[in-house]
Amino acid sequence: MMRISTLMTLVLGAGMLANLGVSTLSARPLTPAEKRYVHPYDGLLPVCEDPAVLQRIFTRFQNSDHKYWSSGLRIIAYEGVRETGFRSTGLDYIPRRYCDAGLHMSDGRTRHLKYWVGENLGIIGWGWGVEWCIVGLDRNLAFGGSCSTAGP
């Protein structure tokens, strides 16, 4: 039979290891997305500055603003486009490239854009897809306060 002091030492030791982020067991196997048998990924995504990515954001913003909000806002230019993360959620998840940029808008204001490019998230799961959020213009809070869920 184990003594109480020995049991307490084991429990406290495990707690300290957990606090330090040390783990001996994984909750699930970590298989990189590229090694899956079903729906494999290659991890090749367009860069944040890719004109096709920025054009897709421009077009979708114009269409959604016209259809739902009718504010008359337009994206005039992008500035300071940069990558903020690549596969930040882990190798076993869908490959995503996270990006930030500044937007010059038709109302004369500069706004912050957060977006990510994901693999096999295009039309019907083919090609790459883009999800984006403009801070202050997420009117239905689909991405949380300050577009927090659009970043890594």
pLDDT greater than 90 at residue 112: yes
pLDDT greater than 50 at residue 6: no
Q: Which residues contact 129 (CB under 8 A, 6 or more apart)?
A: 117, 118, 120, 121, 122, 123
Query: What span, in angstroms and rounded, lies between the C-alpha atoms of 79 and 127?
Result: 26
H or E element, residue 15: helix 4-19
Identify the residue whose tokens are 């806002």. Answer: 73
Q: Where are the alpha helices (DSSP H) in 20-145?
A: 51-64
Q: pLDDT by residue (tens digit) across 37-78?
A: 666 678 889 999 999 999 999 999 999 999 998 999 999 999
Lowest mean pLDDT, pick from 18-27, 44-53, 121-130: 18-27
Query: What span, in angstroms and rounded, lies between the C-alpha atoms of 142 and 123?
Result: 20
Mean pLDDT of 21-35: 61
Q: Which residues contact 111 (CB under 8 A, 6 or more apart)?
A: 102, 103, 105, 134, 135, 136, 137
Q: What is the pLDDT of residue 36?
A: 63
Return the closest-CA partner of residue 81 out of 64, 59, 98, 61: 98
Q: What is the pLDDT of residue 42?
A: 80
pLDDT greater than 60 at residue 113: yes
Q: Residue 24 phi/psi, 5° resolution? A: -95, -20
Return the closest-CA partner of residue 134 out of 144, 145, 147, 118: 147
